[in-house]
Amino acid sequence: MVDKNVAITLNKLRLIEIQRKGETYDFSFKSYWQVMEICHKELENFRKEHGNLQILLNMDEKPTTLTRIFDKCAFVMAKQNYSF
């Protein structure tokens, strides 16, 4: 789940700084864990605002997971050059 698009999005949002390593990003266990914590916080905020997470799960093809949805959102934001 933690890939170039997640790194681009989270770096632009200044939620984490994942260093570039050539054409890719340098993912350590620490940075991977930080991304998982950000994912958890974002999902918890969504749950608090909307009452549950089933809305997100219903948006995707089955079978799906919440981390897959987080990854898809980061992918779209990175590909659209989302202006932050």
Q: Domain for residue 23, yes or no? A: no
pLDDT in tens, 5-51: 888 888 888 888 888 888 888 888 888 888 889 888 888 999 999 99
Q: From CA 13, how far away is CA 48, in angstroms rounded?
A: 21
- The confidence score (pLDDT) of residue 82 equals 55
From residue 54, alpha-carbon distances to 6, 37, 46, 49 in Å are: 22, 20, 10, 13
pLDDT at 51: 92
pLDDT of residue 50: 93
Please report the pLDDT score of residue 28 as a whole number: 85
Boundaries of domain holding 46: 4-17+28-79
Half-sphere exposure at residue 14, Cβ-oriented, CA atoms within 13 angstroms: 2
* 58 domain residue, yes or no: yes
Q: Please count the structural domains in the chain.
A: 1
84 lies in some domain: no
pLDDT on residue 84? 46
Give the SS3 label for residue 51. Answer: coil
pLDDT of residue 48: 95
Residue 68 covered by a domain: yes
Residue 22 counted as domain residue = no
